[in-house]
Chain A
């Protein structure tokens, strides 16, 4: 493989990491509160609000059931407004984030549900407010599971980001399609796949390690 190809691969890897990192960041910032709201407003929980719960649940489900490639195309007008363009890595971040927010929301929801309700009651008995319970009981206690969930989200985002290449999003997927597929460069195809596999492995291992470190059970 030529020096140029190597440079292209590195650049594409950089783009992928950039897209995944930014969209994962956005998805975490918005998805974690979503998960918290989904749990705390559910029946019998600390901030029960069934209407809000149901509406957010529907939105999350609708977003998650739309195939990513269709979501990506469908929200192009929104992408233009937010990113100023519908092509390139910055543009890809919009649909990636939108797909990942409900994903993270659901993952965080299930992690928070694992927290024994007895702990919430104990905190209530000590005079904790709902916000204190969320910040000091629910989130810290669920952190090992949340980290595993976020790891899963990042891995999904790596996959989605490769798909974003199909509509000119940049990154490894873009490279694989333009060179590997359209120009029959098998070496490029294989290289991108290997890099993606290594990336996923790395993320999973890091997530597992961090989760284990946090888990004091």
Chain B
């Protein structure tokens, strides 16, 4: 649905130039919720604004719904933009218009009659749950309600794509949750393709199907959200995941002298990640039975990625040195996220 190919964008300012995008390629499938996460200054905002040409890329290609946007003449581009809805961090509602008139605004721009507008706006008011606020002005609404108006307004032209530029960043966690639920609802009901830019891993975790991690104008990691959580590749991604899934060792273990290679008479510390169906298999029990090792669970956590259960366990495997190695090999063979934290001498462990 959206194809970005090798996008470059450089800003020229008084203090030299800044490469906001340095060759970004992304492919967003029809009907999916695609997240782009990055810290501020990573280039993610520039990226999403290239999708509807609010920002013109220096080079590269932007194809939305089969049409190349970078070479499109202005007039045609304006028509194209009506098929791409957008919502913003600060909502950008017209303060001089009521809720109803804000949602009607894009339809007025398109030259629709009052009757056509009413036929489109009223169902949207119901969809976002603001039918009772239709005659209020934005200043009378809460942040979450304002974003609901923004969403309804973005949907008025029946777009195929919805771009969300830090849409929940100005909202509290509870409101964020309800807005994300609304977006997921819309995605399912209308089959809308959604692109979300955010710096909050929570947003990715709650509704995204796939995600790209951006840093310094580049996509450094891309894949399904589950893969990203289970097998993060880069330090930045790991850092983002740590913001919502605790990866810290419990205090009593943090100070222990770990080694990377097995030492005679040492225990193995592992972090195991379970997703979906693998969460149902009795992995730990199997381990104990097959290899005659002891497995001590030090820390555990179960979360949900969109609708998929996702668990992490911090375990300590002790027993015969050879048995520990066979157990590790077995774990690495089955489809399971596994991270070796290190080996720790049994006697050091005993004093901890």
Contact = CB atoms under 8 A, between A and B. Distances in A.
Interface of A: 116, 118-119, 121-129, 132, 136-137, 140-141, 143, 214, 216-217
- Which 5 pairs show the lowest CB-CB distances between chains A and B? A122-B92, A127-B81, A216-B137, A126-B106, A127-B78
B252 interface: no
19 contacts: A116-B90, A118-B88, A119-B94, A121-B92, A122-B88, A123-B105, A124-B81, A125-B52, A125-B163, A126-B81, A127-B80, A127-B81, A127-B110, A129-B78, A136-B108, A136-B109, A140-B96, A216-B138, A217-B139
Interface of B: 52, 54, 78-82, 84-86, 88, 90, 92, 94-97, 105-106, 108-110, 137-139, 153, 157, 163
A13 B138 CA distance: 43
Contacts of A143: 96
B109 A123 contact: yes
A11 to B, nearest CB: 41
A61 B226 CA distance: 62
A125 B54 contact: yes
Nearest to A120: B92
B169 to A, nearest CB: 14
Given A116-B92, A127-B79, A216-B96, A122 B86 contact: yes
A108 B97 CA distance: 20
Contacts of A125: 52, 54, 81, 84-86, 163
Contacts of B105: 123, 126, 136
A132 B88 CA distance: 20
Given A125-B86, A137-B94, A216 B110 contact: no
Interface centre among B80, B96, B109, B153 (most CB of A within 10 A): B96
Contact of B109 (A116, A118, A127): A127
Given A118-B88, A126-B105, 17 more contacts: A116-B92, A118-B90, A119-B94, A122-B86, A123-B109, A125-B52, A125-B54, A125-B86, A126-B109, A127-B81, A127-B109, A127-B110, A140-B94, A140-B97, A141-B94, A141-B95, A214-B96
A217 B97 CA distance: 10
A118 B81 contact: no
Contacts of A121: 54, 88, 92
Contact of A126 (B82, B95, B138): B82
Contacts of B110: 127
A207 to B, nearest CB: 18
Contacts of A141: 94-96
B92 A132 contact: no
A118 B94 CA distance: 10
Contacts of A122: 86, 88, 92
Contacts of B78: 127-129
A136 B52 CA distance: 21
B63 to A, nearest CB: 18
A157 to B, nearest CB: 27
A192 B21 CA distance: 67
Contacts of A132: 109
A99 B347 CA distance: 92
Contacts of B96: 140-141, 143, 214, 216
B109 A217 contact: no
Given A119-B94, A121-B92, A143-B96, A126 B157 contact: yes
B185 to A, nearest CB: 22
A198 B293 CA distance: 97
A140 B93 CA distance: 13
A126 B88 CA distance: 13
Contacts of A216: 95-96, 137-139
B119 to A, nearest CB: 18
B85 to A, nearest CB: 8
Contact of A118 (B92, B137, B139): B92
Contacts of A217: 95, 139
B172 to A, nearest CB: 21
Interface centre among B78, B90, B92 (most CB of A within 10 A): B92
A140 B96 CA distance: 7
A127 B97 CA distance: 18
Interface centre among A126, A128, A217 (most CB of B within 10 A): A126
Nearest to B106: A126
A140 B137 CA distance: 14
Interface centre among B52, B80, B94, B108 (most CB of A within 10 A): B94
Contacts of B82: 126-127
Interface centre among B84, B85, B105, B110 (most CB of A within 10 A): B105
A194 B163 CA distance: 60
A128 B109 contact: yes
Nearest to B157: A126
